[in-house]
Amino acid sequence: MRMSMAGFSWIPNALTILRCLLVAPVAWFIYQQQFVAALLTFGFAGFTDGLDGFLARRYQWQSYLGSILDPIADKLLMTVSYIVLTAVGLLPPWLMFAVVLRDVVIILGASVFRWLHGPYMMSPSKAGKLSTFLQILLVLWLLIVQAFSLSGQAISMWLIWMTLAVTVYSGMEYVVTWFKKSKDLKSS
């Protein structure tokens, strides 16, 4: 007798909610400079992100709630991590500002576009995916360096500048895409 998996469709959303709940401990551990605990908690939060996405795709457990909660959980984890890493002096304020501003621009841009033209499903661009990857990699790298007392200044600076460049580029790319799509809709 084969058991139906449909009864477990709540798991991806539960993992996303767990990721939201892990934001506070990640922030606290970074602020208290307990970097091993911060690294483990941040890593576990990342694992829940991968697992919820895998389960949702594998078993067709995607939901409207999940489509809203998942990006919120991701942005919340990254934004808070960048703010706290800046507060403890591990990131320059201008990088934190660029990362937060990009997310604000994306959210406001999507909201304005929706208000003017209605819903529009915009897939993340390659630059957007690279930006997210570099932002996560930078947080992980800084936590690893601090947790294990490594000397990684050169790699840290390279990651900071690469993250800044790709973050700014991808933010501008989203804005240009919205303007082009808006212009196309007005002319048709």
Range of the domain at 43: 7-187
pTM tops 0.85, yes or no: yes
Which strand (E) or helix (H) includes residue 153?
Answer: helix 153-187
| 2: pLDDT strictly greater than 60 | no
Does residue 2 lie in a domain region?
no
The residue behind tokens 């690893």 is 144
- Gap between the Cα atoms of 93 and 95, Å rounded: 5
Helix axes 126-147, 153-187, angle to 10 degrees: 160
State the pLDDT at residue 167.
96
Q: Is residue 1 part of a domain?
A: no
Region class of 118: left (phi > 0), else alpha (psi between -120 and 50), else beta: left
pLDDT score recorded for residue 127: 93
Q: Total structural domains in the chain? A: 1
Residue at 39 is within a domain: yes
Mean predicted confidence (pLDDT) in 62-91:
93
- CATH code of the domain in which 98 resides: 1.20.120.1760
Q: What is the per-residue pLDDT for 1?
A: 42
Average pLDDT of span 37-51: 96
pLDDT tops 90 at residue 113 = no
Arithmetic mean of pLDDT, 69-88? 94
The mean per-residue pLDDT over the stretch 34-60 comes to 95
Kindly indicate the confidence band of residue 123, based on its pLDDT and cuts at 50, 70 and 90.
confident
Q: Is the pLDDT of residue 96 over 60?
A: yes
pLDDT at 3: 55
**Predicted pLDDT at 183:** 83
Find where tokens 């993250």 sit.
163
